[in-house]
Amino acid sequence: MSNLQNIAQRAIDRAKTNGASAADAMIREDDTFSVTVRMGEVETLKEAISRSLMLRVFIGKRTATSHTSDLSPAVLDLLVDETVEMARLTSEDKSGGLPEEAIQRSGFPDLDLLDTSWETMTPDERISLALRTEAAALSADKAITNSEGASFEYARSRIALANTQGFNGSYEGTGAGLYCVPIAQSKAGMQRDHWMSAARHRNQLATPEEIGKRAAERALRRLGARKIPTCRVPVIFDPLSARSLLNHIFEAVSGSAIYRRSSFLVDQIGQPVASPNVTVVDDALMPAGLGSSPFDDEGVPTQTTAIIENGVLKNYLHSAYTARKLGSKPTGSGTRAASGAVTIGPTNFYLKAGSHKPDEILSSVTKGLYVVELIGFGVNTVSGDYSRGAVGLWIENGKLTHPVQEVTIAGNLREMLKNIEMIGDDVTFIGSIAAPTLKIGNMVISGA
């Protein structure tokens, strides 16, 4: 048993001694390194080891949670005692409690989350990755005149979890990201865009040159962007902007939104909610996936969950609590918020690739908008109403023409999902949520 597992075990043992009927504790320890370079010079260099313990106690059906970055025994003991006292003051909640013992396991699959070869990289080599990325962007075109910088971030994380039903497990993973934000300038003004790569393994990370060049291309093509008149046209989301739609779907199928009835997808299991070509999964078991883990933050074994299959809504995502509340089974989606409370989180949550090449999708549009970035918070998951600021490129006869900005795209998520007409073969994982190119039949563009 690791040192972290021992600390977690000690905390729940103490909770039990103090009158808790059940408890669980998770510890997260991260060794982190990050460097930001700008205009060829190191701007910031940051390194640390951080630890955090998240505790949950139950007294019957009452619960309280706590978290601390201070793991010294005296502080921890006091916090455990206070947490038990707090639990006495909350209400009975009949769905409360740890996950059923029967679904917990001790053996877990090896998901290939750790790559120790990162450790052999010196700080200078790590800095050089960021420098090369920015250099590739700056040298891509003379219109790239400035930069918000490039950064390399690395973390090695250890998770330990123990509960009073005898579960005590741990796992370890690595992850790194390389990110670049060049700025292009012309008489029409400045434009920035970005590109990145993220991976658990060294050999899965895109090369600095690839990332820098792509980031530069994305910034350059935005130069001279202008408003377009208000219109109703087909909209194509590139894989980066399409990811945000997957985020909205995730929020709408999360068990906590469902029991609160604060989702436009409530009461619709078995119903068609999207176009028949749409399949969405939450797959925690993807080898080396950025969102993969052997068990969730409550010790429930993780799984592959069909969310939407051929357009039909199949499952919501559940923690032990939301599953009990809605008469369903936990899907291994329990996630600890920084506060220590358990919420619902995505693992590798993505829309499956379709059969179309991105060019083919473009060719199918006579007049429309190709969206590359969305900003603002104009999405109402309760009603499905959708209206966000968009940046993109105008499509004319199947070709990208001029860049567009200061417009919004609006609709309702219910109709948008049913109007997904074409799906690209280009699912792009730069995080745990991913999507391919998507074409939506029509949306209102609001502009001049």
Candidates 47-55, 271-279, 292-300, 360-368; binding stretch for another protein (CB under 8 A): 47-55
Among 315, 405, 419, 432, which residue interacts with another protein (rule: CB under 8 A)? Answer: 405
Among 332, 340, 345, 392, which residue interacts with another protein (rule: CB under 8 A)? Answer: 340
Q: Does 326 bind another protein (CB under 8 A)?
A: no
Q: Does 87 bind another protein (CB under 8 A)?
A: yes
Candidates 4-12, 102-110, 204-212, 221-229; binding stretch for another protein (CB under 8 A): 221-229
Burial (0-12, 13-18, 19+ Cβ within 10 Å), 40: exposed
Tell me which residue of 146, 148, 143 sits closest to 223, measured CA to CA. Answer: 143
Among 3, 42, 119, 276, which residue interacts with another protein (rule: CB under 8 A)? Answer: 42
Q: Shortest gap between Cβ of 438 and another protein (angstroms)?
A: 19
Supply 319's token pair.
């923690």
Q: Are 447 and 403 in contact (CB under 8 A)?
A: no
Report 342-371 residues binding another protein (CB under 8 A).
Answer: none
Candidates 168-176, 239-247, 294-302, 339-347; binding stretch for another protein (CB under 8 A): 339-347
Q: Does 314 bind another protein (CB under 8 A)?
A: no
Q: Does 4 bind another protein (CB under 8 A)?
A: no
| Site pattern 98..127 for another protein (x: CB under 8 A) | -------------------------x----
Q: Shortest gap between Cβ of 428 and another protein (angstroms)?
A: 22
In sequence order, what are the residues at sequence separation of 6 or more whose Cβ sits closer than 8 angstroms to the Cβ of residue 143? Answer: 184, 185, 186, 220, 223
Report 129-148 residues binding another protein (CB under 8 A).
Answer: 146, 148
| Site pattern 251..290 for another protein (x: CB under 8 A) | ---------xxx----------------------------
Q: Does 446 bind another protein (CB under 8 A)?
A: yes
Q: Shortest gap between Cβ of 334 and another protein (angstroms)?
A: 14
CB nearer to another protein: pick between 69 and 397 = 69
Q: Does 221 bind another protein (CB under 8 A)?
A: no
| Site pattern 6..35 for another protein (x: CB under 8 A) | ------------------------------
- Compute CA distances 376 → 180, 247, 253, 373, 390, whole Å: 22, 14, 22, 10, 9
CB nearer to another protein: pick between 254 and 279 = 254
CB nearer to another protein: pick between 110 and 124 = 124
Binding-site size, another protein (CB under 8 A): 79
Among 3, 17, 44, 116, which residue interacts with another protein (rule: CB under 8 A)? Answer: 44
Among 13, 209, 309, 385, which residue interacts with another protein (rule: CB under 8 A)? Answer: 385
Among 40, 47, 276, 287, which residue interacts with another protein (rule: CB under 8 A)? Answer: 47
Candidates 134-142, 238-246, 247-255, 387-395; binding stretch for another protein (CB under 8 A): 387-395
| Site pattern 189..208 for another protein (x: CB under 8 A) | xxxx----------------
Q: Tokens 């329990």 — which residue? A: 334
